[in-house]
Amino acid sequence: MPKQITVYTKPDCVQCEYTKKWLARRSLPFNEIDVVEHPVFAEQLREQGISQMPYVVAGDQKWSGFKLDRIRGLDPKDYS
């Protein structure tokens, strides 16, 4: 079963924009959730101690912020 990528973002977030840009550049499909538009997700992340955006969930990998090395480590054939 292909893995999925979810990127939690907020408006006017440079790191969020770079993350989305690099995922697209590598042909890695992703779902974006704006935590301002969907505050329930913002609360869930806060409860987990996560405050920095973007927050990326890629299969079993998770990280906050723009991490080009992590994005480059994702194999596009593993994701749908």
Q: What is the pLDDT of residues 7-66, one digit of tens each?
A: 999 999 999 999 999 999 999 999 999 999 999 999 999 999 999 999 999 999 999 999
Helix (H) or strand (E) segment spanning residue 55: strand 55-58
**Distance (Å, rounded) from C-alpha 1 to C-alpha 40?**
28
Q: What is the CA radius of gyration of the chain?
A: 12
Token couple for 55: 């927050």
What residue ranges do the domains of the chain occupy? 11-74
Helix (H) or strand (E) segment spanning residue 47: helix 39-47
pTM: 0.94
Q: How would CATH label the architecture of 11-74?
A: 3-Layer(aba) Sandwich (3.40)
